[in-house]
Structure 1
Amino acid sequence: MTKGLRVHSEIGALKRVCLHRPGEELLNLPPFELERLLFDDVPFLEVAQEEHDAFAQILRDQGVEVLYLEKLVAEAFDAVPGARDEFLDQYIAEAGIKGDCMRKVVREKLESITDNLEFVMKTMAGLTKAEIEIPLSAGSTLNALVNSESESDLIIDPMPNLYFTRDPFAVVGNGVCLNRMYSVTRNRETLYGKYIFKYHPDYKDVSLYFRRDAAFHTEGGDVLNINAKTLAVGISQRTQAAAIDVMAQNIFWNSDSEVERILAFNIPNNRAMMHLDTVFTQIDHDKFTIHPAIMGTLQVFELTPGKNSGDVNITELNDTLEHILANATGQDQVKLIPCGGGDPIAAAREQWNDGSNTLAVAPGKICVYARNTVTNDVLYKEGLELLVCPSAELSRGRGGPRCMSMPFEREDI
């Protein structure tokens, strides 16, 4: 396996990708906790796993090496004595556990798991009251006992959004943005990336362009590698403009980075367009899938390095989306293919199921959800090669093939 990261585009032939197979975290998803845990429905785990396995196999059939997030973290713990204990300290501190007594019991429960992969998967799944016994001893507090009888059956929340590996971190060129995510529910997911990029033998030396303890929030779905020189980032519900300022400083003045400009797209703040990759996704040298509601509504800024170290120039681009993307990609013109073929009902329905959130495996060859039949027909007629993934349960998490994948290596274009 090639060491390190290399992603300079959205469409170069995909060589290596990081996924997370849905696990028991989806079993710890009570219906009354859905809104807080950022889900709209409870997926059927067995079918979601079958669909995800089919997705992974589609990628392998295209020559892609599939890595799993949980295995990478376990390998990091295997490689470095003490890394697991360091992780556990931080995990418990961020888990929202009430009372010293409960934290002690949880620690003992997790420390009793000797296998590192099993341990990692348990931290992802969360912990319920049914799994542990609360001791009534001289050291118990009234607060701990009362809270143990509280309404929620969760001691530690699950991380049901983890199978969307695009968001906790974002590979940019040979480095990575380790994100501070928008919600407390999801920000704990970035712990896994921290320990991969700190301790894993193959990835511990990569440059970090953003850190999970930053003051502002950003997510990987807002980061698109147009080419080695140009990065697109969404100013969205999940990524603050101030976070892009930090990112620009760290990217422009890092010797490992080749990026010379960042295009910041100010997109509407709503659930249908929570990330830039739900607004548009590059699928070929000159083609993008887009959310039809975005046409003519975008404010775009170009960030470039100033003359002095640390300076960043910012220019507002007053032009059409087509012209901005054509300029960014170096094409004479680009084709924007609307989700749902432009039909408002089909577009709304299929955008809900991530019809424009596609994963390019190579230029013009894209992985799509089977359920978005109208959009898929339009893409097929535009000459794209479609790799169709079953999606009845995976789509309940409101994320498509791009959301479910974090490329670690692509061929240069």
Structure 2
Amino acid sequence: MQKSTGVVTPEFHTDNAKNYGFSSPIHVSSEIGKLRSVILKRPGREIENLTPDTMPRLLFDDIPYLPIAQKEHDYFAQTLRDNGAEVLYLENLAADALNEQPVKQEFVDRMVKESGFKDGLTYSALKEYLVGMEPLQMITTIMEGIRKSDIDLNYKDLRLLSEDADYPFLMDPMPNLYFTRDPAASIGDGLSINHMTFAARRRESLFMEYIIKHNPRFADQGVNVWRDRNHTTRIEGGDELVLSDHVMAIGISQRTSADALEDIARNLFTNSNYDTVVGIKIPHNHAMMHLDTVFTMINYNQFTVHPQIMNGGKIDMWVLHPSKDGQITSEHRTDLLEVLKEVLHQSELDLIPTGNSDPIFAPREQWNDGSNTLAIAPGEVVTYDRNYVSNEMLREHGILVHEVLSSELSRGRGGPRCMSMPIIREDLETK
């Protein structure tokens, strides 16, 4: 296996929230405010470390062709730049957080332990192997995965002989990392750093923990962590939608539990201006794994929605508010349209169905993330080009659509919103 010597990514300019008058380096008060700064992860050799046998373990149902996936991702990143967004790369931010040797050693220790080696010969060998690298090489090596053949095991670790003896990796690759939305999600002047559902993805949020604590752009800059990753209940960023500067929608899904929703609501109610969290229950399956795979906000009063979640216009929801005694009130509702009108103070809403509600087009384009639109300004979105029926519907409803290439990226079952973690959006004008 060829060893990593770093990562080649397009250049980004240095910018921060102070350019836009914000005190925190994270400022996201809506889904639709003009996008000014975003974190991406360019697909790397972790994609090539997928095999048919490891796909279920690593949560993939296909293997993207890496050279084309990278070209498509570069096209996506350039589309964001061309429309005024600063593009930051996760691997560079993480490397810049690990310049101090004690921090680097602590990070390696935690990453190796979370990869299943808490002590013993392999634990020591992995730590020695990684700590000797420069930070960027180390980060990309961890992301790509470490094969047993990468380290000269001149000993016999009994665990390697008895457990997964034929499995090629000591540390699993992280092919899902190009979906930067899920490990952490920006909310207001802070973020959640998430405990993710499946073991294949749980290590991913450790990068963001160290970025927030130790990268000079974020460390000691007043970033609120509304919920950290040190929990047993699960939440992922694809289920977190910032509807306004005081309203959140959170999916209760395959990847986010009701307990986690209540926890993050409690922290927001206590420590921020957020006073409303709408919990939306969606089917618990791989095709609809997150709320943003079936429902996204694209304008002040316009949303994409997958028709199969509507159930004749009814969907289970819970509207949470803080009470005067410091507790949380919860009201069960079923009319999505009415709830959205109420919390967003809109008299009319436009729910745009994926695939024009066609029984063939809708599920096909939802599978390819036709509902997973990324708003880069009010009424302006980035979508996959393959979802042409949904894209035409958006245009018919007055939305400006930027289509990006998608033949290989879409094989990971995530769209433009999944592939992006906005950290700065302009505030909305009052309407």
TM-score computed with the length of structure 1 as normaliser:
0.95
Tell me, yes or no, if the aligned pair for 1:164 and 1:405 is still in contact at 8 Å: yes
Q: Residue 227 of structure 1 corresponds to which residue in structure 2? A: 244
Are residues 1:307 and 2:324 paired? yes
Report the Cα distance in structure 2 between the residues aligned to 1:147 and 1:13, rounded to whole angstroms: 54
Report the Cα distance in structure 2 between the residues aligned to 1:392 and 1:330, rounded to whole angstroms: 39
Match of 1:347, SS?
Answer: helix
Deviations 1:230-263 (A, max 9, x none): 0111111110000111111211111xx2111111
Tell me, yes or no, if the aligned pair for 1:94 and 1:188 is still in contact at 8 Å: yes
Report the Cα distance in structure 2 between the residues aligned to 1:22 and 1:174, rounded to whole angstroms: 28
Q: Residue 73 of structure 1 corresponds to which residue in structure 2? A: 94
Distance 1:100 1:333, change over 3 A: same
- Where does 1:6-405 land on structure 2 (aligned, <5 Å)? 6-78=27-99, 80-97=100-117, 100-113=120-133, 115-136=134-155, 140-141=156-157, 143-144=158-159, 146-147=161-162, 150-204=165-219, 205-254=222-271, 257-295=272-310, 296-309=313-326, 311-318=327-334, 320-405=335-420
Tell me, yes or no, if the aligned pair for 1:234 and 1:266 is still in contact at 8 Å: yes
Deviations 1:245-292 (A, max 9, x none): 1111211111xx211111111112122221111121011111111111
Opposite residue 409 of structure 1, the aligned amino acid is: I
Deviation for aligned residue 1:307:
0.6
Deviation for aligned residue 1:112:
2.3
- What number of residue pairs does the alignment pair up? 403
Opposite residue 149 of structure 2, the aligned amino acid is: A
Report the Cα distance in structure 2 between the residues aligned to 1:99 and 1:370, rounded to whole angstroms: 48
Match of 1:298, SS?
Answer: strand
Deviation for aligned residue 1:294:
1.3
Report the Cα distance in structure 2 between the residues aligned to 1:272 and 1:134, rounded to whole angstroms: 41
Report the Cα distance in structure 2 between the residues aligned to 1:159 and 1:145, rounded to whole angstroms: 21
Opposite residue 313 of structure 1, the aligned amino acid is: T
Report the Cα distance in structure 1 between the residues aligned to 2:159 and 2:232, rounded to whole angstroms: 32
Deviation for aligned residue 1:308:
2.3
Tell me, yes or no, if the aligned pair for 2:190 and 2:225 is still in contact at 8 Å: yes
Deviations 1:91-122 (A, max 9, x none): 00011249722222222221221x21111111
Deviation for aligned residue 1:323:
1.6
Tell me, yes or no, if the aligned pair for 1:283 and 1:359 is still in contact at 8 Å: yes
Deviation for aligned residue 1:127:
0.4
Q: Residue 421 of structure 2 corresponds to which residue in structure 1? A: 406
Distance 1:190 1:149, change over 3 A: closer
Report the Cα distance in structure 1 between the residues aligned to 2:404 and 2:363, rounded to whole angstroms: 20
Deviation for aligned residue 1:329:
2.2
Deviation for aligned residue 1:179:
0.6
**Structure 2, unaligned runs of 5 or more:** 1-14, 18-24
Question: Which has the higher mean CA deviation after the structures are superposed, 200-209 or 368-377?
Answer: 200-209
Distance 1:259 1:102, change over 3 A: same
Deviations 1:285-328 (A, max 9, x none): 1111111101124111111111123x11111124x212222222
Tell me, yes or no, if the aligned pair for 2:294 and 2:366 is still in contact at 8 Å: no
Tell me, yes or no, if the aligned pair for 2:246 and 2:275 is still in contact at 8 Å: yes
Report the Cα distance in structure 2 between the residues aligned to 1:146 and 1:405, rounded to whole angstroms: 40
Distance 1:149 1:374, change over 3 A: closer
Report the Cα distance in structure 2 between the residues aligned to 1:81 and 1:129, rounded to whole angstroms: 26
Tell me, yes or no, if the aligned pair for 1:100 and 1:144 is still in contact at 8 Å: no
Distance 1:109 1:148, change over 3 A: farther
Deviations 1:128-180 (A, max 9, x none): 122222103xxx44x14625981111111001100000000111100111110
Tell me, yes or no, if the aligned pair for 2:112 and 2:118 is still in contact at 8 Å: no
Tell me, yes or no, if the aligned pair for 1:14 and 1:361 is still in contact at 8 Å: yes
Deviation for aligned residue 1:210:
0.9
Q: Cα RMSD over matched residues?
A: 1.5
Distance 1:135 1:149, change over 3 A: farther
Deviation for aligned residue 1:397:
0.3
TM-score computed with the length of structure 2 as normaliser:
0.91
Tell me, yes or no, if the aligned pair for 1:170 and 1:406 is still in contact at 8 Å: yes
Report the Cα distance in structure 2 between the residues aligned to 1:274 and 1:149, rounded to whole angstroms: 28
Deviation for aligned residue 1:55:
0.2
Match of 2:382, SS?
Answer: strand
Deviations 1:46-104 (A, max 9, x none): 111110000000000001000111111111112x4421111001000011249722222
